[in-house]
Amino acid sequence: MKNRIHNFNAGPAALPLPVLEEIQAELLDFKGSGMSIMEVSHRSKWFDDVINETVERINRLMGLGDDFQVLFMQGGASTQFALVPMNLLPEGQSADYVNTGTWSTKAIKEAQAMGKTVNVAASSEDRNFCYIPKDIPLDPNAAYVHITSNNTIKGTAYTDFPDAGNVPLIADMSSDILSRPIDASKFGLIYAGAQKNMGPAGVCVAIIRKDMLERVPASLPSMFKYTTFADKNSMYNTPPCFAIYTVGLVVKWIEETIGGLEKMEARNRKKADTLYSIFDSSDFYSGTADKDSRSLMNVTFRLPSEDLEKAFVAQALENGLGGLKGHRSVGGCRASIYNPTSQEGIEALVDFMKEFEKKNG
C-alpha cells in the first residue's frame, strides 16, 4: 500500500493493515448475508457470532477464565470515570486513586464531583507526572484502588502494579490493554477505550470480575449499570456493532498473526527499546519520562527548542511519519507505538530522527 503513512497517532490510532483489508473486502456482503456488517441485526446469528467470538478471544488472550465478564459499552473511557464510582463505590466507603497524569486526574475529579470519598493515595504531580510512584500507602479498607496503567500523555507506565492485597484494582488500560500479559486476578475491573490498542473509537471494553457486579445499586438508570450489560451480553440495547466487529478482527490478528500476548509484548518491547535507545545515545533528543517508568506505548521526548520540535513534526510528516506532535497540554513530541505499529515503522522513524539530528544538531 504505497499511499499509507507510518501513523504514530495517540488515538484514534493505527490499525493493522490486514484488519482494514478484511473490513474492506467484506464491507458490502458480510459472510454471505447479502448485507454489510453495519446492516445486519444485532439480534441475528451473524452478529451473535461476531460478539461471542470477540469475547472469547479477549478471554483467551488475557487468560480471564470464568471469573470475569467482557462487556462492550459506549461513551469511551471518560464515561467510565463516572460509572466506576457510581457502580462500585458504595455510600460510606472510600476509594484509593493513584494520580499519574491527565487521565487519572480526570477520573479523580469525576468521582469527587459526584460527592464520593476519594483518597489520592499517591501522585507524581510534583515532577509533572514523569514517573510512577512506588511503595504507595494503600487503605486496606478501600472499596478499590484506581490506577491508570499507561499514561498516554506523560509517556509513563507501571512496570509492576501496586499490591493492594484483597482490595480490587481498577485500571484504566485505555492505552496499553493487550500490549502484554497481565495477571488479571488482581483486578476488579479493567476498562479501555478501544481506539488505541484494540480497535476504532466508539466502543469501550469493560472487563469486570463477576463479584463486583454485586455492588451495583439497583437504583441507577439501566444504561449506567454494569449489570445491564453483563445480564444481556452487552445487547440490552443496540451495541456499536461495527466497532465491536473491528475489535474482533484486531484481537484475531493478535491471537492468530502475532501469536498471543507474550509475542505481542516481545514485539512491543523491541520497538520501544529501539526508539528509547536514541535518547540514551544522543544529546539532541531527551525522553521526558524517568527511565524506570517509561511507557512501551507512548514515547514522549523533547528536542533542544520548540522551533526544532515544530520543524521535526512537519518534516517527519513530509517523510511519511505522521502524528508525532505531543499532546497540546504538554507540548514536545510523542510517538505512540501501539500494538499495530511495526518494527519497520520504528526503524523508519529512527532513521529520520538520526537524519534530522545530523542536519540540525
Ligand X SMILES: Cc1ncc(COP(=O)(O)O)c(C=O)c1O
Selected binder of Mg ion within 57, 154, 225, 294 (CB under 5 A)? 154
C-alpha 187/C-alpha 62 separation (Å) is: 12
Site for Mg ion in 285-304 (CB under 5 A): 286
310 catalytic, yes or no? Answer: no
* 1 contact choice in ligand X, Mg ion, a copy of itself, none (CB below 5 to 8 Å, kind-dependent): a copy of itself
Residue 248, interface with a copy of itself (CB under 8 A)? no
Selected binder of Mg ion within 9, 80, 124, 151 (CB under 5 A)? 151
Residue 55, interface with ligand X (CB under 6 A)? no
172 catalytic, yes or no? Answer: yes
C-alpha 143/C-alpha 209 separation (Å) is: 14
Residue 320, interface with a copy of itself (CB under 8 A)? yes
- Given the residues 196, 225, 271, 325, the one annotated as active site: 196
* 172 contact choice in a copy of itself, ligand X, Mg ion, none (CB below 5 to 8 Å, kind-dependent): ligand X
Residue 174, interface with ligand X (CB under 6 A)? yes
Burial class for 45, CB neighbours closer than 10 Å (0-12, 13-18, 19+):
exposed
- Whether 341 contacts 17, CB under 8 Å: no
Helices (H), the chain: 17-25, 45-62, 76-88, 102-113, 226-231, 241-252, 261-281, 306-318, 343-360
Q: Kind and range of the H or E element at 157?
A: strand 156-157
Q: Is 152 annotated as a binding residue?
A: yes
C-alpha 94/C-alpha 298 separation (Å) is: 31
- Whether 189 contacts 174, CB under 8 Å: no
Residue 152, interface with ligand X (CB under 6 A)? yes
Selected binder of ligand X within 41, 44, 128, 237 (CB under 6 A)? 237
Selected binder of a copy of itself within 64, 212, 216, 241 (CB under 8 A)? 241
103 catalytic, yes or no? Answer: yes
Using only C-alpha atoms, the chain has a radius of gyration, in whole angstroms, of 21
Site for a copy of itself in 70-99 (CB under 8 A): 74-79, 81-82, 86
**Using alpha carbons only, what angle is made at residue 301 by residues 299 and 303, rounded to the nearest 5 degrees?**
150
Selected binder of Mg ion within 16, 76, 101, 345 (CB under 5 A)? 101
C-alpha 323/C-alpha 330 separation (Å) is: 15
C-alpha 102/C-alpha 79 separation (Å) is: 15
Residue 11, interface with ligand X (CB under 6 A)? yes
Q: Which residues contact 147 (CB under 8 A, 6 or more apart)?
A: 97, 98, 100, 104, 158, 161, 162, 169, 170, 171, 172
Residue 114 or residue 266: which is nearer to a copy of itself going by CB?
114
Interface mask (CB under 5 A) for Mg ion, residues 196-235, using x and -?
A: ----------------------------------------
At residue 69, the 3 state secondary structure works out as strand
The residue range among 71-79, 112-120, 134-142, 247-255 that interacts with ligand X, by the rule CB under 6 A, is 71-79
Grid coordinates belonging to 193: 477505550
Selected binder of a copy of itself within 18, 36, 105, 315 (CB under 8 A)? 36
Q: Is 77 annotated as a binding residue?
A: yes
Q: Is 172 annotated as a binding residue?
A: yes
The residue range among 75-83, 138-146, 289-297, 332-340 that interacts with ligand X, by the rule CB under 6 A, is 75-83
Angle between helices 241-252 and 17-25 (to 10 degrees): 130
- Whether 326 contacts 332, CB under 8 Å: yes
Residues that bind Mg ion in the complex, under the rule CB under 5 A: 101-103, 151, 153-154, 279, 282, 286
Residues that bind ligand X in the complex, under the rule CB under 6 A: 11, 76-78, 103, 148, 152, 172, 174-175, 193, 237-238
- Which residues carry out catalysis? 103, 172, 196
Instruction: Cite the annotated binding site for pyridoxal 5'-phosphate by residue number.
Output: 77-78, 103, 152, 172, 195, 237-238
